[in-house]
Amino acid sequence: MSLVSLVSGVLYKEETKLTAEEVINKTFRRIVDSNPSITLAFPEPVYALIASDCDDHRDRYGYMKYNSAEIITCFERSWAILSGKSYGSYPAEPYKNDIIAVDMTKIKGEGFEGTEDKRQTLAEYVTHHPRFWLTLAQATWLQGIKIYGSSRFLENTYGPIILEQLQGKIPDEWIRENSGEHNLLRIIGPPTSEPKKYNKEFISNLYEAIMVVLEKTQVKD
C-alpha cells in the first residue's frame, strides 16, 4: 500500500499553526461550503475498518466512524463527502480523522428511489470497501496528513496529482523516498517525535489538490 505523507505542511508562521486533525476538519468544511451540498444523516453511525491486531489471544479493531454524509455537486457529478473520526480499541489510536468520498453515480445506479434506501446503500458501500480505498486525506497523531497511493483516487496515474498541486508551496527538500510497513512512498517534511503542525494556508493547498483529484477521477467501483 503506497501513500503520500504530508507530515509538516508549511512551517513559516508560528501564530497560524494547526494540527493535522484541524487541517482535515477545516478542509472538509471548505469542500462542503464551496460546493452546493445537502446533508444525509445516518440513523446509526457507520464504521469503516482502518486497523486491527488479532492473534490467538485477542481480537482488537480500530475504525473510522461516520455520522453523516454531505452530498456535493462539482464538475457535473455528485459526491458523498464524509468526515470520520477514529473509534474503537488501541489499533485506532495512531489515527485521528479523515475525509473520504463516494461517487454517487455508483450509488444512484443501485435502482432505489427513497432516501432511506440511499442512506443504507451508501453506508454499506463505505463499510465494505477495503481500508483506505475511499480515503482522500487522513490525519494521524505523529505522521501528519496521509494520502494513500492505493486509494481509488490516487492509484496509478492519480498518484502524482497531489504533489503537482503542492509544488512551490512546500520546500522541495522535504520530498524524499522511503519504505516501511505500508510501502511509504514519500515523506514531506522532517520526521519528528511531536505532532506535526501546519500553517492555515495549507488548508487551501490541500483543498485545491483534492478538487483536482475529484475532477480527474474516473467512474469506477
Q: 54-64: per-residue pLDDT in tens?
A: 777 778 888 89
Contact 47, 131 (CB under 8 A): no
Range among 34-38, 90-94, 113-117, 127-131 with highest mean pLDDT value? 34-38
Give 20-30 pLDDT, tens digit per residue. 899 899 999 99
Q: Could you give the CA distance from residue 190 to residue 7 in angstroms, rounded to a whole number?
A: 8
Check pLDDT > 70 for residue 214: yes
> pLDDT > 70: what percent of the chain?
67
Q: Could you give the CA distance from residue 13 to residue 215 in angstroms, rounded to a whole number?
A: 31
Question: Look-up: residue for cell 479493531?
Answer: 61
Listed range (51-55, 69-73, 122-126) with the worst mean pLDDT: 51-55
The 95-103 sheet, strands edge to edge: 37-54, 59-74, 77-88, 95-103, 135-140, 145-148, 3-6, 184-188, 175-177
Range among 26-40, 103-117, 177-191 with highest mean pLDDT value? 26-40
Q: Could you give the CA distance from residue 210 to residue 221 in angstroms, rounded to a whole number?
A: 19
Q: Could you give the CA distance from residue 122 to residue 203 in angstroms, rounded to a whole number?
A: 27
- pTM for this entry: 0.80
Range among 13-17, 83-87, 109-113, 179-183 with highest mean pLDDT value? 83-87
Check pLDDT > 80 for residue 138: yes
